[in-house]
Amino acid sequence: MVENLATGEKSDLFQTEDDAFWSWAVIETLRHTGIRREELLEITHLALVSYRLADTGELVPLLQIVPSKSNEERLLLISPELASVLATIITRLRNANGGTIPLTSQYDPHERTFGPMLPHLFQRRTRGHRNEVMSHSTVQNLLDATLARTGLRDAAGEPLKFTPHDFRRMFATEAVTGGLPVHIAARLLGHEDLSTTQAYLAVFQEDLIRSYRSFLDQRRSLRPTAEYRDPTDEEWREFQQHFALRKLELGTCGRPYGTPCKHEHACIRCPMLRVDPAQRARLIEIIRSLTERIAEAKLNGWLGEEEGLRVSLEAARNKLTAMDRTRNQSATRIADLGIPQIRKP
């Protein structure tokens, strides 16, 4: 049984208090930072740094993320919510280990080596009564156990499956739809290419329409009403023709009104292509065809054509993944996981 910090209510959501705490700590850290699983496990007490703003002199807390897929370190601003989570983790480790955070060595499954002894934050006491950094599988097991006890299911009625990377996508979507420029979100996520960040976003059509209408209302309130005349019949026909010409085999083209297409016949690669869910079978057919053509090009040594086909295949797969994710998320409901109570020794 676990006690909820906010309400004081008891819950049998988790089997042990230790599982409850670390499930909460993992989920909260992932959703407030958008970091990768390997970056989560590499967080140490030494990663908490501060920076003094030159203009105001204010001291702001930062979280240092060590290189994972990229070769550059990055710093994330610690929000009040994230600060509370990290402080709770540090307090728990200190209370259980005589006021200090034990030094532990993390095992790298790819390099098959142990890292230096550091005060890692995501460490647990093992059955051998020693502290070890969590493994990748332990993190996934905590997420699986949490979802299993919530009883959440996807659109097909199957048990819902979440990975640490899903929280990374949610972080990107919430940040950009909340007004953060996509190039800033890319830096926070450690992406070198904006198209990588854009593939993470799950922005629904209704959200786009609602946000743009709000923008128009605000702009009209600041501009003279004479600027907003009714269009002529010729202008309206031209505007409607623009959308008629944007009809594509797989959906519609979302490029701005009156702008020419610079990609010509590369629609499957173009980020402006909005795939119609009804064309899912056709998209799968295109993916299958591209796979066969890549095999043929590789067999015949057509290296240039093979590389171009691989770019198209990756773009087609990303569009299929984004389409399925949007469809599944529309049926997802929110479950309150609660916050575990840390019992004083």
In whole angstroms, give the CA distance from residue 55 to residue 318.
43
Looking at residue 228, what is its pLDDT?
Answer: 66
What angle, rounded to 10 degrees, do the helices at 136-150 and 17-33 form? Answer: 100
Residue 145 CB neighbour total at 10 angstroms: 16
Kindly give the confidence (pLDDT) of every residue in the chain, 345 residues in length, as a single tens digit, with 9 standing for 90 and above: 334 433 334 344 456 888 899 999 999 999 988 888 989 999 999 988 887 777 777 778 888 887 655 556 788 888 888 999 999 999 999 999 999 999 998 887 777 788 889 999 999 988 767 899 999 999 999 999 888 888 888 878 888 888 898 888 888 887 777 777 766 777 777 776 656 556 555 554 455 556 656 766 777 777 777 666 667 788 777 777 776 777 777 888 777 766 777 665 568 888 778 888 888 898 999 999 999 999 998 898 888 888 888 888 988 898 888 888 777 655 554 444 444 444 444
Looking at residue 312, what is its pLDDT?
Answer: 87
| CB-based contact 109:7 (threshold 8 Å) | no
Looking at residue 123, what is its pLDDT?
Answer: 94
The label of the residue with tokens 């629904």 reads: 204
- How would you write the chain as a 3-class SS string? CEEECCCCCEECCCCCHHHHHHHHHHHHHHHHHCCCHHHHHCCEHHHEEEEECCCCCCEEEEEEECCCCCCCCEEEECCHHHHHHHHHHHHHHHHHCCCCCCCEEEEECCCCEEEEEECECCEEECCCCCEEECCHHHHHHHHHHHHHHHCCECCCCCECCCCHHHHHHHHHHHHHHCCCCHHHHHHHHCCCCHHHHHHHCCCCHHHHHHHHHHHHHHHHHHCCHHHCCCCCHHHHHHHHHHHHCCECCCEEECCCCCCCCCCCCCHHHCCCEEECHHHHHHHHHHHHHHHHHHHHHHHHCCHHHHHHHHHHHHHHHHHHHHHHHHHHHCCCCCCCCCCECCCCC
The residues with which 270 forms a beta bridge, in sequence order, are none
Q: CATH fold of 2-200, please?
A: hpI Integrase; Chain A (1.10.443)
Looking at residue 4, what is its pLDDT?
Answer: 40
| CB-based contact 57:89 (threshold 8 Å) | no
Side-chain-side CA neighbours of 317 within 13 Å: the count stands at 10
Q: Where are the domains of the chain?
A: 2-200, 225-329
Give the type of residue at 309.
Answer: L
Q: Which two tokens stand for residue 101?
A: 């955070």
